[in-house]
Each structure stands twice: as C-alpha cells, then as structure tokens.
A and B are shown apart, each in its own frame.
Chain A
Amino acid sequence: MGKKNDEEKGRSVEQYLDLPRILEERGVSRRDFMKFCTAMSAALALPVTFIPKIAQALDEVKRPTLVWLEFQDCAGNTESLLRAANPTVAEIVLDVLSVDYHETIMAAAGHQAEGALAQVVKEQKGKYIAVVEGSIPMKDGGIYCCVAGRSAVDTAREVCGSALATVAVGTCAAYGGIPAAAPNPTGAVGVKDAVPSATVINLPGCPLNADNLTATIVHFLVFGKLPATDSLGRPLFAYGKRIHDNCERRPHFDAGQYVEQWGDAAHRKGHCLYKMGCKGPETWHNCPVQRWNEKTSWPVGAGHGCAGCSEPRFWDTMTPLYRRLPHVPGFGIESTADKIGAGLAVATAVAFGAHGVISAFRHKDDSADAKED
C-alpha cells in the first residue's frame, strides 16, 4: 500500500489507472485477476454475471483518494491489512487507492504529514474516502486523544465531515470497542456517534477482516456507492448472517454433541463449542465463510469459541467469554441466572409452604370465626 511511484505524484481523483499494466508488472496473471473478481463477487453475494462487470470496472477504475486516521486504537486493523502473506490481487486493488495519509505506514512525518491531510480535505472536499481506526473520546472536550495538537473529535469532524464516505474499520471505530468498555473513562464512541452528519459504513471486528474492506472498496469502485447495510451500519454482504448459521460445527450443535472441557474427547473431535461460551449464536459476521490469514482458519475453526467481537459493546455484553449467559447484575461473579432462578423458585416454595403451615393451624379458629359472622 505504501509504495508510491514518482509518476503518481500530482494525481487527481479523475486520473485513470492502467490496472492491467500494474498487474503485469507485479507478476499477476489475467487468470489470477479473474479469480480475484470471482472471489469478490462471491463475497458480495453477487451473481456470476457480475464477474466481468467487476473486472471491467476495476480495469477502468479512477483512483479515489483515501486517508486513514488512527485514534484510540492498537493499530490492529492496520496490521490485519498489511499482514497479507503474499502479494495478492487484493493488495494491489487496495494499492489502487491513493493513500495520502496513514500515520503508521506513511513516510512523511510532522508538519509534512499533517499538510498532506489538510491538502486532501481542502482540495478534494466531498471526493475522498476516509478510513477511521480506533474510537473517539468525547469526555472533557476530547482531550484524551490528540494528534498533531488537535483532538480526535475535532479532526474527525473535519475529515469525516468533508469525506465522500467514511469507513469505520474495527469495532473501536464502529462502536467504541474496548476503549468504550465500562466504565469508559474517556467517553469513547464510534465515528457515527462522534460525527452524526458523516456518511459512515461500519466494518467491525477485532480486528476487521481485510477481505471485507477489499470487498467494500470493490463494491464502491464497481457501483460508485457503498453496499447496503443493516441497522448497525454494517454491510449486509459481510454481517448479514449469524456466525452460528454458517458455522462448520453447526451439525454438532443440532446433533447434540458439545465440548464440555478444553481438550476433552469432544474438543479433539471438533464438536460444538456452545457450552464453552461460544458467542456464534449472537454474532453477525462472515468469519466462517471468509476466514482469516488467506482463508486458512478462524477462531471457531481453531477450537476456540467466538468472542462476539463485531457486536456493539461486546466487551461488556459478551463477557464472560466462556459462559453462555452474562452475570446477573448485582449478584456475585459465581452466580448464574439459573442458580439465582432456582433459588428464587425454592425460596417461593419455602415461603408458601410456611404460609400453608400457618394457615392450616388457623383453620379451626377460622371456622369458629365464620360462625360468628
């Protein structure tokens, strides 16, 4: 992503890229390119007739400018993006984007870097794509995250507010993520909450799956608009189904074969992790299909339950990670809903049993009373 040729200087949004030439230079065959287009149409759940359209659109692509802002983050999404094992077509497609600002990977620093950002915002107002990684602190005037002397919320308002669209990558940028976990000392929120006027698409996950970012950008390049989203601003092609419903271990769930303990026979056989607290049934993500690290594996495939990382407030609501249900508020950490519930039922039985004993003893007095009446 970071490499820039000299000839690319002075580019504009309208500049056409010769993608076939770039692919040839990088040693990517036309066949590999078509395979990539097929994979993208599959990721976006488009019919096969779209494959040539994707290829054509990418051949004729105009280069949109992209700026990548990092706020309260761990740079995990940047890592996820940069850690491709081999140079892939996806990497080159992302390369097509003119990344004018990315704190982690850009060569420029200090005033030069900030100058590049200011230039994009000024000269390409309403035309560039902003990518935001990390949450934005709102408490105390947003002083808990400042870059180049400006608060994150101030920068986000200007950069995301002037962007054609903002892609919030990772759960922190989408919903506040781990910095927003209780008690949320910095008042961290996601981009849409910090800049309500911005056009935001959320790609949550901890980290996001780079394939979903590629597919979102391909969708944007092919159709000129962002993909359809759910009520949480996530694209339906990637977050439209629960993990549970696409899980390779689902047959074991339906059969009734569960891991009871780490390393037991069922765990070694790859049975369902439901009883180990897997949050697949409450998490919307395409992990089982897209997978990670060049489609090698994914958490549940590797034998660990889903943590629900792509859901809002996952750190507060999906914990404890190795139990099915959250703790009941106000009770001890060892109390489960079912223990409390059984206690409630027993207490009720005891209370009414006691009431019954007293009532039984009052029986005779009662009938005497009734005669007086």
Chain B
Amino acid sequence: MATRCNDRELLNDWHIVADRAALAGDTPFPTRLLGVDLAIDCRDLRKLEVVRTDTGATLKRAERYGFVWTCLDTPWRDIIYIPEANEADRHLVSGGSIAVKVSGLRAVENFLDMGHFPFIHAGWLGEEPHTEVAPYKVEITDKGEVLATECKFYQPVASPTAKHGFVVDYIYKVIRPYTVALYKSNPIQKERLDVITLFVQPVDEENCIAHPYLCYLKEGMEAATVRSFMQLIFGQDKPILENQVPKRLPLDPRAETPIRADAVSVYYRRWLRDRAVTYGAIPAQS
C-alpha cells in the first residue's frame, strides 16, 4: 500500500521513530518510516533494536533528545545538533508525539506559516483584526538551511505564562526536509530564545508523526505546562492539516498560489525541489 521512498536525501538521513519514554519492555513497538514497516524491540532495555519487518534486518539506531532514531541506509550526516539542549536552565522535553494524516511536508509548511494564527489559533497566537503578516526576510544559509528572520506577529497569549498580548519575534529554520525549528523570544529573559524543534517522521507519503522537542527556559515555567500549551496549539492545527487537499505537498510553483506572507513556503518548496525531495510531495512538472 505505502509507496517506497527513493530520495537519497531521506534514505541516507536519520529520522525519529519513537519517543523513548513511550516504549514499554514487553512487546515490540510497531511503526513505519518512509513506507517501511519497523518494529522497535526494547525487551532488552540496554540494547534496543530497530528491525525492518519485511526483511528482518536490524537497522542503525541512536538515542538522542529522548527519542529513538534510525536510518534506512547509511547516514550521510549526523543527527542535527541543538546547542540549546546543553543549557542546564532549560526544560528539555517532548511535547508529545502525535500522528497526523497528512504528508509530513505539509506539517512542516504549516509550522512555518504565520498567516493562519488569527484564525486557527484565535485568542492564543493571533486574533482578528491583527491579521497582517509583516514582511520578513528569508535566505538560504551557508549550511544549506532555509532561514526566515525578522518575523513579527501580535499574539494575545504567546506562551503558557503570557499575561497579555504583545508583538512576538520569531525566527524559523528548516534544517532538514522533515525538520523545522522555531525560535521565539522568552517572555522573561527577553534576550534569550525558547526553541521548538519539530521532527516529523514521514510514516508514508500521506501520513506523518510530529515529534516536537521543546527547549524552554525553566524560569517561571513547569515542564508539564509547556507540554500542555504545545498540545493545545498543535491540536488546533491537526484537523486543518488533515483536511488539506491534496495530502501531499505540491512542488510545482503554479500548483498553489502563494502571497507575500508565504515567502518562506516558496523558499521551502524550491529548496525541496533543488534537493530532489519527492517523498510526500507532488513533484513539479518539468
């Protein structure tokens, strides 16, 4: 049923396949990555194994940031490095892995979009009539990442502890085709940034699992509160994502009409095309 992936960019990269804390000892945990069925065998707690169900082959695996990672082939590069994960004064927690019936590329693109805040996250990340997305900058960094800076948006409740609305500064960074990070000014230590990295597991072309990894400053904030806020927001996005048609992300520039507020999406789609990423996408007609 699920189509197989032929994109080297994805096959030769690491992907999250489980929240480590969710794995119980007794039965293997079934999941799927890029259309390949996997079983995560954790009966021996010291030696967790990721096994392909079709061939029985044991795959490379790693544990980082509280998640289990695997690679279907030989990894070309290491798991992404999150410098903030080394800072002792931050909560470093999963926001809760949630399965979504849409291409993971759509989930990444939604994460990059500010235009929907006043409508989908009304009363939290935006509210009418503050609907304008002010112009922001987008560039491709020397590390080959999509970087959007100078993003500003008026938010009534920007964080779990916000007491009043204010204009929030955002930075977005697409790090890998299915990995995107958001940096947001901390309401107390304004010179420092809270970081949410959204690792998206491409289950198949039209299904994904969002694994949000939260690096929030602890000051004035409980880990459970951060997690609860993340789920409140993501729970609002989920039905919108699951109703997107088509479920895969069209890469043809003529397929869906962007406006200026979508500049980062335009870069993202072009960046995917340049990297020959087609899994979860509707490739552009050449």
Say if A and B assemble together. Answer: no
Chain A residues proximal to chain B, CB less than 8 Å: none
